[in-house]
Amino acid sequence: MKVRHAWGKSEKIELKMTAMIDIVFLLLIFFIMTFQIVAPEGDFNVHVPIVAKEARDTDMPPRCIPPIKIRLTATETGHLAGIHMGGRNLGRNFKALNMELRQIVGDGTGASYLSDVEVEIDSDYALRYEYVMDAISAVSG
């Protein structure tokens, strides 16, 4: 690049590209070394084969249990309006939901008694997240 002064002399200005390239590579190395990959949160999509409790406990041939569908409805403000499972209204009681699931699957100890059953939770778009988490807690024991 040439710069011309008013009196007619011209000077050549050189840009130091080596220093700029060094800085770019240092920045690139810095961002690569500090980048942390985070696993996505809240991914509950786990598909496993479902076998009835009787088939697990005995030598009976396995009988598949269809997915249990739970519907959570919301009010206009996002609060829980009701819990519906299999066409039945369970009110707003998550303990009743847990008891119904225990009757369907069979009672067990700890949180593992529902580990082989697929449950689909369908909620209204406006429902607060805390109620969905309460439903997941009721399902998992």
pLDDT in tens, 122-138: 888 888 888 888 888 88
pLDDT exceeds 70 at position 11: yes
**What was the pLDDT predicted at 10?**
67
Q: How far apart are CA 124 and CA 72, in angstroms?
A: 6
pLDDT exceeds 80 at position 43: no
The second-level CATH assignment, the architecture, of 53-140 is: 2-Layer Sandwich (3.30)
Which spans in the chain are helix H?
A: 17-34, 53-57, 94-105, 129-140
Q: Which residues contact 88 (CB under 8 A, 6 or more apart)?
A: 100
**What was the pLDDT predicted at 113?**
47
- Residue 111's pLDDT band (boundaries 50, 70, 90)? very low
pLDDT in tens, 74-88: 888 888 888 888 778
Range(s) within the chain of domains with CATH label 3.30.420.270: 53-140
CA atoms within 13 A on the CB side of 29: 6
Question: 6 to each of 3, 16, 123, 125, how far by Cα in Å?
Answer: 10, 26, 76, 71
- pTM recorded for the entire structure: 0.49
**What was the pLDDT predicted at 112?**
44
Q: How is residue 10 written in tokens?
A: 């011209």
pLDDT exceeds 80 at position 24: yes
Q: What does the pLDDT average to over 25-40?
A: 87
**What was the pLDDT predicted at 115?**
54
Which residues share a beta bridge with 138?
A: none
For residues 135 and 121, is the Cβ–Cβ distance under 8 A?
yes
Q: How is residue 114 written in tokens?
A: 């529902």
